Structure 1
Amino acid sequence: MILSDWSDVPDRLARLSTHPSAGTIFGANGHQWRREPPLTTDELAELESQLDVELPAEYRSFLLQVSRGGTGPAYGLFPVQRVADRWRWEGDGAELTDLETLSQPFPHTDAFNPADDLPDPPDEADFDSEDTFNEAEDAYWQQHEATAFSPEHSIGLLYLCHLGCAYREALVISGPARGQMWADDTASDGGFRPLHQPDGSPTGFTRWYRGWLEQTEEQARSRSSRNTP
């Protein structure tokens, strides 16, 4: 298996962490430029044994060469930690990952919205009283929430990042889109969608992380040039 080369990344992250504009980068108040140590090969083997699945090559090489979590896109990568002899990811939204079903296939390759098949919300004009309308509306939104946020939609997804306002991004661990990054936009009733590069190709973990790194370096350079007399 050919693993991604991440040898340049630790130094680049270290330089960014001491940059004068480091504290103004979006999400820095979350990850604070802290980088957890990489996993050892034994730790990774134990993690994958507990999950009953091998992680996609790009992400597993990052875990071994760079970090188990911390500094990264938006508010940072959810770190994977051993807690009471069990491995799990921690962070705002990390609990959305069902560790017991990561080895089961995420069946989708195209964007989908679980709420699309629901009927339209009730119209107050169709009800004789405000009370009956309110009851129908409450029942509808309960059904909507149960459908849109059902855990079955995220089987095979490993949540890695919180973008704020309950928007999150995840890595497909199992299924036909294995190794691709997806966005979970259910917080705005947008469903799930795969991330793509400008040329339309799927975004894997390496492009996702390095894309953030390059954009962040450019932001830091731009802010330095504006502040230079």
Structure 2
Amino acid sequence: MDDSIWVGVRERVHALTAAPAGDRVFGAMGHRFLLEDPLTQAELADLERQTGVLLPEEYRDFLLHVGAGGAGPSYGVYPVRLVQGRWRWEGDGAGLADLSRLAEPFPREGADPEAVRLLLSEHPEEEDFDEIEDFDDAIEAWEERWEPVMWSADRTVGAVVISTLGCAAREWLIISGPERGRIWSDNRVDDEDLKPLLDDNGVPMTFTRWYLTWLEKAEHQLASAPVTG
């Protein structure tokens, strides 16, 4: 990976802290366009030694040249920090990732895709019930079957939660397996399955594309914001 793509990115993000109307960018009220310090080579080596994986190249270069987390898509990139001798990612839902299983390939089709498809096909629909109470009972019974399958830790091995859109909607960075280096969307809170995040042309988002697309849109949005006062 050519790490020169990250040259000047930290400075571009920092420049947005002085832009008027910065809160127009979604999530900026949370991260304020601030970045954590980059990791040192020694810290990155320690992180990878402890987790037992070589992180995706684009993300490794981001950690070394831009920051260990902070300003970024949605409410920002979850920071990775050393806490009491252990490395961990911090943010809403970060604990969903099993850091002891990062070397396992992320299951692109899910840990049990047939079970998911069957459950989705059996989702109760309100129009099929004469009484709302019966529909509510059916939904409750369905969710009792759905949640253990959909939220199984086996479905997110080899990945870390990297960002949140709020309301328990999150994005994952895939660490191991065929999807390594790509971003996946997680809207399971609304009964939607995990799926790859795609750009406007339907191309899967890599970490670099995900981050730089956000930065370019934020710069354009703030540059075109009307001047007040």
Structure 1-normalised TM-score?
A: 0.87
How far residue 201 of structure 1 moved from its aligned partner, in angstroms, is 2.8
- Once residues 205 and 144 of structure 1 are traced to their aligned partners in structure 2, the CA distance between those partners, rounded to angstroms, is 30
Residue 207 of structure 1 aligns with an amino acid whose one-letter code is: R
- Once residues 145 and 73 of structure 1 are traced to their aligned partners in structure 2, the CA distance between those partners, rounded to angstroms, is 28
Unaligned runs of 5+ in 1: none
Count residues with an aligned counterpart: 225
Q: Counterparts in 2 of 1:115-134, with a 5 A limit?
A: 115-118=116-119, 120-121=122-123
How far residue 48 of structure 1 moved from its aligned partner, in angstroms, is 0.3
Which residue of 2 is the match for residue 32 of structure 1? Answer: 32
Which residue of 1 is the match for residue 11 of structure 2? Answer: 11
Deviations 1:109-157 (A, max 9, x none): 79x7963221625689999x99998766543321211111111111111
Is the 1:22–1:220 contact (alpha carbons within 8 Å) kept by the matching residues of 2?
yes
Stretch of structure 1 that moved more, 198-207 or 175-184: 198-207
Which residue of 2 is the match for residue 214 of structure 1? Answer: 216
How far residue 170 of structure 1 moved from its aligned partner, in angstroms, is 1.1
Corresponding residue to 1:187 among 186, 189, 200: 189
- Once residues 31 and 22 of structure 1 are traced to their aligned partners in structure 2, the CA distance between those partners, rounded to angstroms, is 11
How far residue 5 of structure 1 moved from its aligned partner, in angstroms, is 2.7
Residue 160 of structure 1 aligns with an amino acid whose one-letter code is: I
Is the 1:58–1:205 contact (alpha carbons within 8 Å) kept by the matching residues of 2?
yes
Residues 138/228 of structure 1: CA separation in 2 closer, same or farther (3 Å cut): closer
How far residue 71 of structure 1 moved from its aligned partner, in angstroms, is 0.7
Deviations 1:21-70 (A, max 9, x none): 11332101211222110000000000000111000000000000010001
Which residue of 2 is the match for residue 81 of structure 1? Answer: 81
- Once residues 39 and 68 of structure 1 are traced to their aligned partners in structure 2, the CA distance between those partners, rounded to angstroms, is 6
CA RMSD of aligned residues (A): 2.8
Is the 1:80–1:89 contact (alpha carbons within 8 Å) kept by the matching residues of 2?
yes
How far residue 217 of structure 1 moved from its aligned partner, in angstroms, is 0.6
Which residue of 1 is the match for residue 149 of structure 2? Answer: 147
Which residue of 2 is the match for residue 156 of structure 1? Answer: 158
Unaligned runs of 5+ in 2: none
Q: Counterparts in 2 of 1:48-87, with a 5 A limit?
A: 48-87=48-87
How far residue 3 of structure 1 moved from its aligned partner, in angstroms, is 3.2
